Amino acid sequence: MSLKQRVLMAGLLAGALIAPVVAAATGGDPQRVTVLSASDAAAVVAAFAGGSARAADLAVRGPVDGAVNRFYQVQGAGISSNIDAHSGDVLSLVLPVTSATLASAPATAPSAKATAEQFLVGRSISTDGLTESLRLIGHGESSEYVVEWDRVVNGVVVPDLRVVGVDATTGQSFRYLYLHRAYAEPGKPAVNQAAAEALAVKLVGGSGVLVEDSQLRISFTASGSQLLVWTVSLTATVDVTPEGTLVPGHWDVEVDAATGAASITTAG
Amino acid sequence: MPVIRLEPRSSSVGATRRLSAALVLAVLAAIAIASPTVAVGPMADAMWGHWPGPTGLDTTGTMNVVKGQLVGYNAFSTNPYDARTAMGSGYAQNDAIWWMAGHANVGFMTTYNATNGSTVIWTSGSVGGANCAATHSTCLTNYTSTQMHRIRLMVFHGCYSGSAISNGDSLPKRAYTNLGVDSSIGFSQEVGFSNLTSDYWAGQMTYYGMVLNYNVHDAAWSAANDVAVMNGGSFHGYDSIVLYGGSVKIYPPAFGS
């Protein structure tokens, strides 16, 4: 039984009624039906965070809707977390740097990997079938080993992801991300990569637009229907200053892999 | 010899003046009660740019979010005349929080004004193409800690704004190390601008800092995770934080040290 299930079971045994509460607007997505209460959300996060975290010290906001799920935001005592209001999964956690963590030993790549794996094992979080990767990233005054597990099926990135960030100086896990949603095995896209990129370039327009990256992944509509989409990252020079400095622009374009409908999701 | 005229104490003129004085005092007292003095907090500038065109970048919304969160600061969502002005006495040199959102790249940050177009803040003259003596653009090396040390938080909110040039220097590093700002933030990857990315990160980051009193490190990372959860696992670059002075807090409102 997972930690989350134990906490929920404890609540049920104590007589707390966790009745399914259908929020006013689920968009018809059954995965967005709110099951978890706010107080249970705080209890789950406190237990998940461990240490001295207490549910009474945590404030709960929401639930709010994201791209693939509905979640509570649980915050306080230096902790921040998001927890799925339907499944009860802890979707993210950031732990504060404390005197205890500062006293820890610096990480190496193997020790960071072991620390991250222990973080998941200690919380009964499975990585079965996922592909693990590790990279060291500088963050200015600190650096981080990012240990990531993801899954690609038939060339499609599916919603199954774990990320644990280990501070390279303290050797401690300080951030965690979890994404999992049931999906149907993706088929072949009607719009291939070249066609998707051409549509994205056309949408941004202008000359000199370059494709930086393309990724095929699963997405969901507000009603919960599964989609296959291309995310195409583009760059181009948008301006030149009098000194000759080229001002770069970046765009992410989503192209529906079934219909070819394209839209700019972010610029930068 | 000057003539000194003494007005009789009981004169109607004197009574009127005393009455007037009493009325003035009463009105002033009433105003004072009805409108308690509002302390003007330390200044915060959230500076946007709006590059034109159907696919242009407009960071106004993100800066409006920041401005709205900085309760207690004398906060503005504003478009500076140019990059040099943004670093001048009306902005950076009088700011507790300095936050610029716009296009950027390794070693420089830009803003956009309808009159001046794109103008640049380079880390130093070591950035390719930099002209630290330009009329509307400038370099961080043009300024001293005497001018900038009162900045508590300086955010270069743009793609690759935290990436180092060949000599290891970067915008946030120089701001923190040489200009004496208490904390500084940039990014080492492309970061997205939209209501679910930049607006959300900035809003959450300042919420953690202002409402929950988290330090800059914890606030920035909490907000990055929030962006990923909101966007189905994609950080949109907000996990590429480049940060100095992470233990600094932006609440209560105050200038930097």
> Looking at A182, A209, A225, which one is the last position of a domain?
A182
List the beta bridge partners of residue A235.
Answer: A210, A250
> Looking at A93, A111, A143, which one is the last position of a domain?
A93
**Quick check: A139 and B192 CB within 8 A?**
no
> Looking at A77, A93, A109, which one is the last position of a domain?
A93
Same domain, A6 and A74: yes
Residue with tokens 């920035």: B220
List the beta bridge partners of residue A59.
Answer: A75
Q: Are A232 and A242 in contact (CB under 8 A)?
A: no
B-facing residues of A in 54-93 (CB < 8 A) are 64, 66-68, 71, 73, 75-76, 78, 80, 82, 91-93
Arithmetic mean of pLDDT, B199-220: 97
List the beta bridge partners of residue A134.
Answer: A147
Arithmetic mean of pLDDT, B230-236: 96
How far apart are the C-alpha atoms of B152 and B96, rounded to whole Å? 5
A-facing residues of B in 31-60 (CB < 8 A) are 51, 53-57
Per the model's pLDDT, the better-predicted residue between A97 and A54 turns out to be A54
Q: Which of B230, B235, B243 to mutate to test the interface with A (most CBs of A within 10 A)?
A: B230
How far apart are the C-alpha atoms of B172 and B185, rounded to whole Å? 6
Arithmetic mean of pLDDT, A11-26: 38
Residue with tokens 């956690």: A93
A-facing residues of B in 91-150 (CB < 8 A) are 103, 105, 108, 110, 112, 117-120, 122, 129-131, 134, 136-137
pTM greater than 0.90: no
**Quick check: A243 and B54 CB within 8 A?**
no
- pLDDT, tens digit (0-9, with 9 covering 90-100), for B73-122: 999 999 999 999 999 999 999 999 999 999 999 999 999 999 999 999 99
**Quick check: A241 and B118 CB within 8 A?**
yes
List the beta bridge partners of residue B118.
Answer: B112
In chain A, % of residues over pLDDT 90: 81
Question: Going by C-beta distance under 8 Å and a sequence separation of 6 or more, which residues neighbour residue B114?
Answer: B50
Q: Is residue A188, in this structure, part of any structural domain at all? A: no
Of the candidates A10, A62, A58, which has an alpha carbon nearest to the alpha carbon of residue A37? Answer: A62
DSSP 8-state code for residue B158: S
Q: What is the ipTM of this complex?
A: 0.89
At A52 the pLDDT is 82
Q: Is residue A3, in this structure, part of any structural domain at all? A: yes
Arithmetic mean of pLDDT, A71-86: 96
Grouping H, G, I as helix, E, B as strand and the rest as coil, residue A114 is helix
At A16 the pLDDT is 33
Amino acid identity, position A193:
Q
**Of B110, B190, B233, which has the smallest distance from its Cβ to A268's Cβ?**
B190
Enumerate the residues of chain B whose CB falls inside 8 A of the CB of residue A75: 208, 212, 222
pLDDT above 80 for B255:
yes
* Out of A51-55, A142-146, B56-60, least confident range: A51-55
List the beta bridge partners of residue B104.
Answer: B109
Same domain, A155 and A230: no
| DSSP β-ladder status, A90-94 and A79-84 | antiparallel
Grouping H, G, I as helix, E, B as strand and the rest as coil, residue A237 is strand
Enumerate the residues of chain B whose CB falls inside 8 A of the CB of residue A78: 214, 218
Same domain, A224 and A258: yes
Indicate the pLDDT class of residue A99, thresholds 50, 70 and 90. Answer: low
Same domain, A175 and A236: no
Provide the sign of the torsion angle of the four alpha carbons B230, B234, B236, B239, taken in this order: positive
Enumerate the residues of chain B whose CB falls inside 8 A of the CB of residue A264: 55
**Of A67, A78, A219, which has the smallest distance from its Cβ to B214's Cβ?**
A78
* CA-to-CA separations, B184 to A145, B17, B72, B156, B194, in angstroms, rounded: 22, 59, 20, 8, 22
> How high does pLDDT run on average in chain B?
89
Using the Cβ of B238 and the Cβ atoms of chain A, whether some distance falls under 8 Å is answered with no
Amino acid identity, position A236:
A
Q: What is the CA radius of gyration of chain A?
A: 21
Q: Is residue A51, in this structure, part of any structural domain at all? A: yes
Which residue range forms the structural domain that includes residue A83?
Answer: 1-93
Same domain, A201 and A172: no
Same domain, A224 and A259: yes
The tally of domains found in chain A comes to: 3
DSSP string, B60-88: HHHHHHHHHH-BTBEEEEE--SSHHHHTS
* CA-to-CA separations, A209 to B50, B60, B105, in angstroms, rounded: 20, 25, 17
Same domain, A89 and A107: no
Of the candidates B84, B89, B97, B90, which has an alpha carbon nearest to the alpha carbon of residue B46? Answer: B97
- pLDDT, tens digit (0-9, with 9 covering 90-100), for A114-156: 999 999 999 999 999 999 999 999 999 999 999 999 999 999 9
> How high does pLDDT run on average in chain A?
89
**Of B129, B191, B194, which has the smallest distance from its Cβ to A244's Cβ?**
B129
How far apart are the C-alpha atoms of B97 and B85, rounded to whole Å? 16
- pLDDT, tens digit (0-9, with 9 covering 90-100), for B124-182: 999 999 999 999 999 999 999 999 999 999 999 999 999 999 999 999 999 999 999 99
Domains, chain B? 43-244 (3.40.50.1460)
At A27 the pLDDT is 72
Neighbours of B111 (CB within 10 A): 31
Q: Which two tokens stand for residue B145?
A: 């800690």
At B1 the pLDDT is 39
Arithmetic mean of pLDDT, A202-229: 93
Residue with tokens 């961080």: B140
Q: Is residue A187, in this structure, part of any structural domain at all? A: no
| DSSP β-ladder status, A173-180 and A156-157 | unpaired
Same domain, A228 and A178: no
- pLDDT, tens digit (0-9, with 9 covering 90-100), for A2-12: 434 433 443 33
Same domain, A88 and A106: no
User: Could you tell me the CATH number of the domain that includes residue A161?
Assistant: 3.10.450
Q: Is residue A224, in this structure, part of any structural domain at all? A: yes
